[in-house]
Structure 1
Amino acid sequence: MGSVSELGEFLRARRAALDPPERASRRRVPGLRREELAQLAGISVDYYTRMEQGRASNASDSILDALAAALGLDGAERAHLYRLARPTRVAASSEEVRPALRWLLDALQGVPAMVLGRRLDVLAWNPLAAALVTDFREQPNMVRYMFTDPAAQELFVGWMDCARENVGYLRADYGVHPDDPALLALVEELSAASPVFRSLWAEHPVRERGPMFKRVNHPQLGPLELAAEPLTSDAGQVLVTYVAAPGSPSEDALRLLASLAVT
């Protein structure tokens, strides 16, 4: 699927997510009509219709900014809108982990850590990350793990929020690399395997990585509260660490997990 049709789908999904005017609360179709959104954005209905249909090109900054405001887009979604409206070729990031990044990964003995590449492929990890999440030799992709392994729903407290985050990361990647055959194959595979993935993908969520707290329910250790800290490299790879607050029960649990991971 190309960026032109992807732009139309993104606009339609976002338009459908907006609340209609109070007088139109009995509508059968959710969201705003095209003419209502065009009016909010201050652009002509004809031009907006052509954008949704992939027949408009070279949208100006002012038009894209107005649409972003009318649709209530956040920073990640606004950047995604720009990428779809003005597609450019981006060099594929390497699937090989940079040596310095691997050295850093190996140095993190007491911290679960992994290196993620495009499509949320798990390119490298330390033993503690595998002990916390799963055996990445068997499941080297976080999105596939999230939607096809029942253990993921048991591990992540608030699984649906985590699932939506992962789809948002994948959507952001798709906006940069819309012609990546491996990404398209992954989306097709998961759309067939998981109705939840199929529904979330159709909503067009977009997320950029940032620090966040994760609550997990580990089968051996019980509840853990961890801070997920992503460090993005210039090679398009992300080192994700899971750290616990000093002196917390979760820190003690990670220390125990580290001892179990090496035995």
Structure 2
Amino acid sequence: MLHGEIEISAFLKARRAALDPAEVGLPDGFGRRRVRGLRREEVAQLAGISVDYYTRIEQGRAPAVSGSVLDAIARALRLSHGEMTYLRNVAVPRRRTAGTCAPVPAQTVRPAVRELLAAMDPAVAAVVLGRGLDILAWNGAGARLSFDLEALAPARRNTALLVFLDPAARERYPDWEKKAEEVVGNLRADSGRHSDDPRICEVVNELLDRSPEFRRMWAAQGVYECLRGTKRMRHPEVGELTVTFESFRLAADPDQVLVTYTAPAGSASEAALRALSRPAAGAAVAS
């Protein structure tokens, strides 16, 4: 099944299985348990709806589910804000043509945003991410902080493809497992917003085919938008550095996110970012 054929079933089943009955006041449940997590009848009871209705929702057979019912299910399953948003996105059946991903406009970055990138302090690394975690634009340090973006073909400038398929990724990210889980959580959240996007379909299907680690993490149905935090990185030219990142969704381009990476003034990591902002010897400067 192509990723474009998103179903609510796998998500709700995974969330049921991940929840300890004791957390919701059901230490013994309804009789002897043969599987982990909550049963459908238990979720229905906690949400205050019939078992039949919950079953139809989980199987994707409920044509129109109200927001109040989705809220009740979210409370029953202890969903996070990001998981709740994802549930709302995938709970609405979408019209599709012959089961394929619908065409969408190509992703472009406005000139004003590119000017903003160019005007940033050299100690600030920045990139613009689009749908499916494609890397659309960057500044000097952003071009080289994680990977050499200018040396990559446009179709390979994608955070998920690089983290899971580039051999250098595990060396660049000392905490690779954590980084990979964040990428999967972000990608799933994006897929909920744009389930028919052909680029997201392409990225997810390639990773499912080529990466056992991605298949394992994707099957867990985790939804986690990591929008800020701290990362440890290991760069082949400037060594180890620790950066703080912040994400800003562009108001005029809601499908695009500006991500900045900074370090404390005067720190070795800040010096490393400044060094990365200078083109390497013989390297071309992107227009």
TM over 0.5: yes
Residue aligning to 1:129: 142
1:156 paired with 2:173, answer yes
112-121 or 122-131, larger mean C-alpha shift: 122-131
**Matches of residues 1-263 of structure 1 in structure 2 within 5 Å?**
6-21=7-22, 22-23=27-28, 27=33, 29-86=35-92, 92=104, 94-108=106-120, 109-136=122-149, 137-138=151-152, 139-233=156-250, 234-235=252-253, 236-259=255-278, 261=280
One-letter code aligned to 1:213: T
Runs of 4+ residues over 6 Å off in structure 1 = 88-91
One-letter code aligned to 2:275: L
Contact 2:47/2:72, CA 8 A, preserved across alignment:
yes
1:262 & 1:226 partners in 2: Cα distance? 24
One-letter code aligned to 2:11: F
Contact 2:3/2:201, CA 8 A, preserved across alignment:
no
One-letter code aligned to 1:202: A
| Residues 130 and 121 of structure 1, relative CA distance in 2, 3 Å threshold | same
One-letter code aligned to 1:177: H
Q: Output one character per residue of 1:17-60: Cα deviation in whole Å (capped at 9) or x when no partner.
A: 11245447x95533211112222222211111111111112222
User: Shift of the alpha carbon at 1:134?
Assistant: 0.9
SS of match in other structure, 2:141: helix
Q: Output one character per residue of 1:70-111: Cα deviation in whole Å (capped at 9) or x when no partner.
A: 111111111111111135689956511111111011112332
| Residues 132 and 192 of structure 1, relative CA distance in 2, 3 Å threshold | same
1:203 & 1:178 partners in 2: Cα distance? 18
| Residues 181 and 217 of structure 1, relative CA distance in 2, 3 Å threshold | same
1:212 & 1:91 partners in 2: Cα distance? 34
Contact 2:141/2:278, CA 8 A, preserved across alignment:
no
Q: Which runs of 5+ in 2 are unaligned?
A: 96-101, 283-287
1:39 & 1:134 partners in 2: Cα distance? 49
SS of match in other structure, 1:14: helix
Aligned length: 263
| Residues 188 and 4 of structure 1, relative CA distance in 2, 3 Å threshold | closer
Percent of residue pairs bearing the same amino acid type: 50
2:273 & 2:86 partners in 1: Cα distance? 37
2:77 & 2:37 partners in 1: Cα distance? 11
| Residues 116 and 18 of structure 1, relative CA distance in 2, 3 Å threshold | same
**Superposition CA RMSD, Å:** 2.5
2:231 & 2:103 partners in 1: Cα distance? 32
| Residues 107 and 178 of structure 1, relative CA distance in 2, 3 Å threshold | same
Q: What is the TM-score of this pair, normalised by structure 2?
A: 0.83
Contact 2:6/2:90, CA 8 A, preserved across alignment:
no
One-letter code aligned to 2:63: S
1:5 & 1:226 partners in 2: Cα distance? 35
Residue aligning to 2:99: none
Contact 2:4/2:197, CA 8 A, preserved across alignment:
no
